[in-house]
Amino acid sequence: MERTFFVTTPIYYVNAEPHIGHAYTTILADFIYRFNLSLGIDSYFLTGTDEYGDKIFTAAAEKNMTPQDYSDKISGKFRAEWDSIDIKYSDFIRTTDDRHKRIVQYVLQKIYDKGDIYFGSYGGNYCMGCERFLTDKEMVNGKCPDHNKETQYIEEKNYFFKMSKYQDWLLDYIDKNPDFIRPERYKNEVLSLLRSDRLEDLCISRPTSRLTWGIPLPFDNNFVTYVWFDALINYISALGYPDGDKFKKYWSAAQHIIAKDILKPHGIFWPTMLKAADIEPYTHLNVHGYWNMDDAKMSKSLGNVVTPRDLINKYGNDQIRYFLLKEMTFGLDARFNEDLIIDKINFDLANDFGNLINRTFNMAGKFFSGKIPEFGNDNAGRDDLVAGIKKSAEDYILFCSKFQISIGLERLWEFIRSLNKYIDDTKPWQLAKDNNTDKLSSVIRNLLEGIYGISVLLSSVLINISPQIIAALNAAGASSNLDALLSMNNLTSGTVLGELGILFPKIEKAKPEAKAESDKEKRMNETGLIDIGDFSKVDIRVAKVIKAERIDGSDKLLYLTVDAGQEQRNIVAGIAHVYSPEDVEGKKILLVFNLKPATLFGKESQGMLLAAKKSNKDKPQVIFIDDTIPIGARLG
């Protein structure tokens, strides 16, 4: 049976124009769609806009527009924004589309006929921002925690979906499918909601006496459909449920991507709705965190919104794609500022990858007249390179398949750094000076082959630059045959290399910022003090030591394997003269998570544990963490 893949973004609410938070979700979906296509998997990518409800009606009135005209305008901006940044969606659904309205009414009627929708009266705390009733437990100090605004008490007669009927089923389903919602912290959050109390039935209508902008209920025209019940159905209406070929082909492989603020509708409302309609659940719900500006969630109400087009015009499309995919550890919040973007471009793209390409192409031009050389007889080190790209590619595919893109990219960058080290170790310039053309040709060919392999693997991230590199190598392009790609033998000897120029120009930070940084460093040197911005750059997390062993040849070093929540890492710790491996195994420690890797005694250390000592003469004391604090928790 042919493998398929179906990825969705949330459909974006048209009460505001697209910002970088929307862009991240969409770029992530675009990446994972292209990534699966590159593996030869038949894939489909859905995005769109959510256009009904109180907020749209109000926003349109404020602009002296009809709700439809207002929706047309903002929906058009989302589509134009995605087109401008090369989002390769398969379909763009709008909830005002007739195809969607027809399926919403079909599903409503089906569940109504089943007896799972009833008419009743309800009074509760209504949040206009969320467009739903909040329970007392969900509110904080009488306010909606997401919008920090007081709710409005509304009491009215409406139609209700018997969501409580499916609570036990959903609990059992999640227990039997532990990766149904991922990462695990969000699965646990949904389970906590389900286990803490009985679910209330879901109010799925609004009376037309209060709101007319919505899809009429098929069994009562005096009511329109609650916006969340309507919006969630887009995931199947776009595929032509119930009889469409696309629904039959792709729904069983459905992967939803959402931000954590809409976990409850997608993690509870939607699966129970599907169950009531006798539709199999989606495969996975993939939940990401927020982009924070100065430790505050990016939102229109806070006035700290950044538009994707402005960033891309300033830094480049591929550069922003790489930053967003690399900077956010999936499931956790991430910091956003332009200094971080510049650092990612300068260090990862310009220094590591760009410099590798420039050095290699320049040497090929100087030593081989700009042509791809043949492998020489002396090809020492090639086996290590082939093993290295295979391991990096396998890890990249494994982690990206689980939506842990930042980790997957880091694994590829390990191979990129190894190619740079290969240049330093083999010293091609010295080989040329010594007239060792045989070995020199092998070195340059290996580097070009490595660059080709990495460029193909990165083609879902660097969607414009990877094809340029592949074209300059005069190679056929991406192949779904992974074994062939990773053979490090894909290029044609004697082929003339194309011109590339500087692919990732380094970016200078603005002079006022540089002066402020210089002044800050001066103050730090004078006082020893740092500000909160400096401290916040250090990512310290709780990790658990899974395995510890001594390093041969060292009396002070232990080699630790630790579980950091999102991944396992290996670190080298100078504590062997104080602690035995048994002393630390099973213990929780504090791990500096974003420290650049370093190699000690032939072992790569991917972080650093925190220990304390009174003076340099004292022995280090590891800071062990109480077992009640969860793995992956951040310090701060």
Q: Are 151 and 142 in contact (CB under 8 A)?
A: yes
Catalytically annotated residue among 100, 127, 266, 390: 127
Look up residue 9 and give its two tokens: 């973004």
Look up residue 48 and give its two tokens: 């769109």
DSSP string, 251-269: GGGEEEEEEGGGHHIIIII
Q: Could you give the angle at which helices 20-38 and 317-327 cross, rounded to 10 degrees?
A: 90
Q: Are 574 and 620 in contact (CB under 8 A)?
A: yes
Residue among 425, 429, 427, 422 nearest 449 (CA): 422
- Any idea which residue has 């390990």 for tokens? 414
Residue among 314, 324, 252, 318 nearest 288 (CA): 324
Annotated catalytic, 439? Answer: no
Residue among 149, 159, 157 nearest 128 (CA): 149
For residue 196, the tally of other CB atoms under 10 A from its CB is 8
Catalytically annotated residue among 55, 100, 101, 144: 144
Longest Cα–Cα distance of the chain, Å, equals 90
Distance (Å, rounded) from C-alpha 84 to C-alpha 100?
Answer: 26
Annotated catalytic, 300? Answer: yes
Distance (Å, rounded) from C-alpha 163 to C-alpha 142?
Answer: 25
Annotated catalytic, 203? Answer: no
DSSP string, 458-480: GGGTSTTHHHHHHHHTT-----S
CA atoms within 13 A on the CB side of 510: 5
Q: Are 43 and 7 in contact (CB under 8 A)?
A: yes
Radius of gyration, CA atoms only, the chain: 28
DSSP, res 164: G
Give the H or E element holding residue 244.
none
C-alpha pair distances (Å), 397 with each of 182, 257, 460, 570, 605: 17, 18, 12, 20, 22
Residue 294 identity (one-letter amino acid)? D
Catalytically annotated residue among 77, 260, 297, 391: 297
Residue among 1, 2, 132, 119 nearest 54 (CA): 132
Give the H or E element holding residue 547.
strand 540-550
Annotated catalytic, 577? Answer: no
Would you say how long the chain is, in residues? 636
Distance (Å, rounded) from C-alpha 159 to C-alpha 207?
Answer: 9
DSSP string, 55-91: HHHHHHHHTT--HHHHHHHHHHHHHHHHHHTT---SE
Annotated catalytic, 127? Answer: yes
Distance (Å, rounded) from C-alpha 471 to C-alpha 500?
Answer: 9
3-state class of 582 per DSSP? helix
Catalytically annotated residue among 101, 130, 275, 439: 130
Reply yes or no: is the peptide bond before residue 145 cis, omega within 30 of 0. no
Give the H or E element holding residue 534.
helix 532-536
Q: Are 86 and 48 in contact (CB under 8 A)?
A: no
Annotated catalytic, 147? Answer: yes
Residue among 355, 386, 367, 383 nearest 497 (CA): 367
Catalytically annotated residue among 77, 88, 147, 506: 147
Q: Are 166 and 272 in contact (CB under 8 A)?
A: yes
Annotated catalytic, 400? Answer: no
Residue among 150, 145, 159, 143 nearest 225 (CA): 159
Annotated catalytic, 130? Answer: yes
Catalytic residues: 19, 22, 127, 130, 144, 147, 297, 300
